[in-house]
Structure 1
Amino acid sequence: MSEKTKKLTTCALMAALMAVCSQIAIPLPGRVPLTLSLVGVYLTGIFLEPGWALASQCVYLALGLCGLPVYAGFSSGAGVLFGLTGGYLFIFPVMAWVTSVSCRRFRGIIPLALGLLLSLLLCYGAGSLWYMALGKVGLRETLVSCVLPFVPLDICKAVFALVLAQRMKKPLALGKF
């Protein structure tokens, strides 16, 4: 199998992983469900080169836009992607790219953890700005609804992704899955 075919296949598999992670969702009182999507974004960035990581997340977004139920709660379509919480989805490709760059440019667990933290801050920033613009709500309401309840769990997701990636690194390098 050619190197390009391997990269394309891995890109598609990571988009599929995103679809699975997004379905592991717990509805919360606000408009933002609790999902494992961020774990999928982080793993995409860790295992794919920057361009492929970005492409994989774009494929995931395109699948949902085309009507495949890959977003949280088996949802799909333009209404979800361009809805109140769409900013959190639109930033996924950039998050995966940032994660990928951080783990390739700087070696070690600390730089990778900082890259995941930067990605998470990008998610909160872009998603919150989008939410405020479309929902015509202020920063305080946005933080209370869309950010603060998620911070502890999102940090746990980053730690989980780091641990999982460390465990998967060796088997994947050996060609085992």
Structure 2
Amino acid sequence: MRSTKTLDLCLIALFTAVIAVVSQFNIPLPGGVPMTLQTFIIPVAGIVLGSKRGLTSTLIYVILGAIGIPVFTGLTGGLGKIIGVTGGFIISFPFIALSAGLFDELGLRVSGSQDGTKKNISYYALVLTGVLIGNLFNYGIGTLWYVAMTHNTIAAALSSCVIPFIPTTILKDILIVVLGPALKHTLYQARLMRTANAV
């Protein structure tokens, strides 16, 4: 039991670090909301680690940034980032991991698979659903927060926070649904996880 808990903590810490590193890859945009890989790696964390550990890993990342450790985009941190124009996107990150993880677990139950070898169309459809729900929550909270902070209209916020990101979001979602389960299965085969759904 102790070794299992240690492994859990190591996996959580590993993905927290990966999220922090991947967050530094960004493309600044005129509206003030950069294009980042956070919304790629965070749902992957939920799928690979499972809903509980994925949520924990992402929540730790947000807390570390909030207390001032420079893990957010551009090696920034502090409460100023949380209450800034992109704060809504940041605080929604844990939900993204939770949603992806929950629907991955549901997909595994539907397919009757613990080791992840019996994936079918229903499984991938459910994982995609979880990722899309996470996207909608992220865009919704992020856009409303942006409106509140900048006093712009919803239309202006959508132009800055949503529309420019739709093409890359579609691409990222496809990669998430393919690579997330594959990585999780690899870790399971390497005996770095108890079960493929990691709960």
Interval containing the TM-score (normalised by the shorter chain): over 0.9
Aligned residues: 177
* Aligned position for 1:51: 52
Name the CA distance, whole Å, in 1 between partners of 2:32 and 2:106. 36
Name the CA distance, whole Å, in 2 between partners of 1:51 and 1:31. 32
Is this contact kept in 1: 2:47–2:184, CA < 8 A?
no
Matched, 1:95 2:110: no
* Aligned position for 2:129: 114
* Aligned position for 1:148: 163
Name the CA distance, whole Å, in 2 between partners of 1:19 and 1:103. 23
Name the CA distance, whole Å, in 2 between partners of 1:71 and 1:86. 11
RMSD between superposed Cα atoms in Å: 1.5
User: Taking CA–CA contacts closer than 8 Å with sequence separation of 6 or more, which of the two structures ends up with the larger relative contact order?
Assistant: 2
SS in 1 for 2:74: helix
Kindly provide the amino acid, as one letter, of the partner of residue 150 in structure 1: F
- List per-residue Cα deviations over 1:104-138 (Å, max 9, x = no partner): 01231111011101110010001111111121111
* Aligned position for 1:66: 67
- Judge which range, 161-170 or 14-23, deviates more: 161-170
Identity %: 36
Moved over 2 A (4+): none
Kindly provide the amino acid, as one letter, of the partner of residue 101 in structure 2: S
Name the CA distance, whole Å, in 2 between partners of 1:170 and 1:55. 20
Unmatched 5+ stretches in structure 1:
none
Is this contact kept in 2: 1:53–1:100, CA < 8 A?
yes
Matched, 1:136 2:137: no
SS in 2 for 1:23: coil
Unmatched 5+ stretches in structure 2:
109-122, 193-199
